Amino acid sequence: MSTKPKLYYFDGRGKMESIRWLLAAAGVEFEEEFLETRDHYEKLLQGGSLLFQQVPMVEIDGMRMVQTRAILSYIAAKYNLYGKDLKERALIDMYVGGTDDLMGFILMFPFLSAEDKEKQRALIVQKATSRYFPVYEKVLKDHGQDFLVGNNFSWADVHLLEAILMVEEKKSDVLSGFPQLQAFKARISSIPAIKKFLEPGSQRKPVPDDKYVETVRRVLRMYYDIKAN
């Protein structure tokens, strides 16, 4: 196996994007192998690399890891982005879980019909501004620190910034009523490793397009339509 982590997924965001974000935040270089054909996917299946017959899959430290949350937890712990004690880890897990819930409304957005996309866009903004962003706004205000947990940069901060930027793609002024989150976004975006990942030419993936959707459908044989939440 390569000494660098190697990521197996499609050439697009999906569930792998948060893994890319976390590795980049840790300053870790990684390689990627993109799934483009059904044959490629089936070779991974037949070779036993995909424990639960699904991607993302990451080769790291001699392991072939699947299950997104397990991969992210391992990376966070390995690179000291998982708090200093059990209490901080619990808070990080809680905040990441909330952010995951918000991201869940966005993940399947590219696979919706045009009509459903408009409904889902409104739902994403509504959920972000009424359920999720108010929580993080209050946490940051009450906590009085630059970061969500303790006073150290963690996985929770990386995940929240990713989510903020994803929602802003649906409504650019979505943070207009959240001054704490506006300041948080500016702070975290200016961290050198994050700033580098946000620059053109990085391994950050763009908003999913029709080519990405068609590739995923073909490789995974998704012959059905996704329905809006």
pTM, whole model, 2 decimals? 0.95
In the chain, domain spans = 6-79+198-220, 86-191
To which residue do tokens 């409104």 refer? 122
For 178, the 3-state DSSP assignment is coil
As a CATH number, domain 6-79+198-220 is 3.40.30.10
pLDDT tens over the chain, length 229 residues = 458 999 999 999 999 999 999 999 999 999 999 999 999 999 999 988 898 989 999 999 999 999 999 999 999 999 999 999 999 999 999 999 999 999 999 999 999 998 999 999 999 999 999 999 999 999 999 999 999 999 999 999 999 999 999 999 999 999 999 999 999 999 999 999 999 999 999 999 999 999 999 999 999 988 655 666 6
165-174 contacts: CB < 8 A, separation 24 or more? 166/103, 166/106, 167/102, 167/106, 167/124, 167/125, 167/128, 169/207, 170/106, 170/121, 170/124, 170/125, 171/121, 171/125, 174/125, 174/128, 174/129, 174/133
As a CATH number, domain 86-191 is 1.20.1050.10
